[in-house]
Each structure stands twice: as structure tokens, then as C-alpha cells.
């Protein structure tokens, strides 16, 4: 029996109320789910919370899995990514932290894919509140996937200036948290929809 077949069988048992089937299912998939959550959020505590939420949902709604729509891992991956992105939207400072961590490296495949998956209105609205040159540099870097060198050439600015524009732009985005009433760690109680 391969891993997916075993997981499908365990899900059937969980759906029928078996608590004994849940533990082996969790053991098989917990590190996979945690890894995805951590990749998206960049925060260990948030990733652990997301992992916990995903497995509670699996236990309560095991019947949602449809074998004809893909593997159990693919189903869990979609659930985890969705919950992780929701968590970032609710806790926008996590999103800014993720952007800041990216600002010190060239945007690469997984990071660019991450940014494209987030509803861009969150960032785009905040970008409207920072200087135009900073906004352009950040937009080109994170939304268009241009390298710092490409941005430097297109904006006709030295490479160091482009890096500074991005860095200061991200700092200004951070300041927008208070202006836009972005939440801290209160779980979104005072969240302001953009």
C-alpha cells in the first residue's frame, strides 16, 4: 500500500469517527503541512498554529477529501496554503516581515510565487501611501519580478539607490501599519479592511 492509499484509508476511518486513525495520519503529514505553512508565513509560531488548524479541520471534515480530485498531500497543501495566506491577510505585519526578509535578497521563484498568491490589493493599497520612486521600485521588484539591476537600468538610478528605495519603501510600509490600523498579534480584532 503506497502512502496515498494509506492516507485515503485513514481519512475514511477518520470520517467514520475513528480517533485511532487520526494519530498515524497526523504522523505521516504533519511535517509536510508545517513546512508549507512556514514557507508562506516565515514564522514558526504562526506555522505551528496553522498546522494545528489544518489538522482540526481534517478531523472535523475528513469527508471533504475527494480522491478523484488529487492526492491527499495535494489536498493538504491547498488547505495549508489557503489558511497561511488568510493568516497573512489577517496579520498584515507578518506580510511586511515576509517582504522585508525578501528585500535583502533577489526575488526568486518560490518567493515570487508567494507574493503573487497574496491578494495584491493589500500591498497595492499600502503602496499608495509611500513616495512614488519607492513605490515603483517595490512594485517592479515584488510584483513584476525584476532584478535590482533591471530596476536600476529602467529607472536610470544607481544600483545602491534602488536597494535604498526598496529598503526605505518597506520601512514606510511598516509605518503604514498604524495609519491603516493594521493589526498586531491580537488576531485581527481591530482589522481594517482595505
pLDDT per residue as tens, the chain (194 positions): 467 889 999 999 999 988 899 999 999 999 999 998 888 887 889 899 999 999 999 999 999 999 888 899 989 988 998 888 778 767 666 566 666 565 444 445 554 455 555 545 566 667 777 889 998 888 888 767 788 899 999 999 998 899 899 888 888 877 765 444 443 433 333 333 32
Q: Per-residue DSSP letters for the chain?
A: --HHHHHHHHHHHHHTT-STTHHHHHHHHHHHHHHHHHHHH--HHHHHHHHHHHHHHHHH-GGG--GGG--HHHHHHHHHHHHHHHHHHHSHHHHHHHHHHHHTS---HHHHHHHHHS-THHHHHHHTTS-HHHHHHHIIIIIS---HHHHHHHHT--HHHHHHHHHHHHHHHHHHHHHTT---SSTTTT----
The confidence score (pLDDT) of residue 40 equals: 80
* pTM reported for the whole predicted model: 0.50
Amino acid at each position: 500500500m503506497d502512502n496515498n492509499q494509506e492516507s485515503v484509508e485513514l481519512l475514511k476511518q477518520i470520517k467514520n469517527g475513528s480517533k485511532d486513525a487520526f494519530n498515524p495520519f497526523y504522523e505521516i503529514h504533519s511535517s509536510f503541512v508545517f513546512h508549507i505553512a512556514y514557507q508562506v508565513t516565515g514564522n514558526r509560531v504562526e506555522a505551528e498554529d496553522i498546522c494545528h488548524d489544518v489538522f482540526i479541520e481534517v478531523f472535523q471534515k475528513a469527508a471533504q477529501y475527494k480522491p478523484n480530485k488529487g492526492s491527499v498531500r495535494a489536498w493538504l497543501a491547498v488547505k495549508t496554503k489557503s489558511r497561511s495566506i488568510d493568516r497573512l491577510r489577517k496579520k498584515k505585519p507578518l506580510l511586511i516581515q515576509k517582504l522585508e526578509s525578501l528585500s535583502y535578497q533577489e526575488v526568486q521563484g518560490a518567493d515570487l510565487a508567494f507574493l503573487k498568491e497574496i491578494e495584491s490589493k493589500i500591498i497595492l493599497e499600502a503602496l499608495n501611501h509611500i513616495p512614488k520612486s519607492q513605490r515603483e521600485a517595490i512594485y517592479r521588484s515584488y510584483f513584476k519580478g525584476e532584478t535590482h539591476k533591471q530596476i536600476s537600468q529602467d529607472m536610470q538610478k544607481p544600483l545602491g539607490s534602488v536597494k535604498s528605495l526598496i529598503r526605505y519603501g518597506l520601512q514606510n510600509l511598516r509605518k503604514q501599519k498604524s495609519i491603516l490600523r493594521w493589526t498586531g498579534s491580537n488576531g485581527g480584532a481591530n482589522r481594517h479592511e482595505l
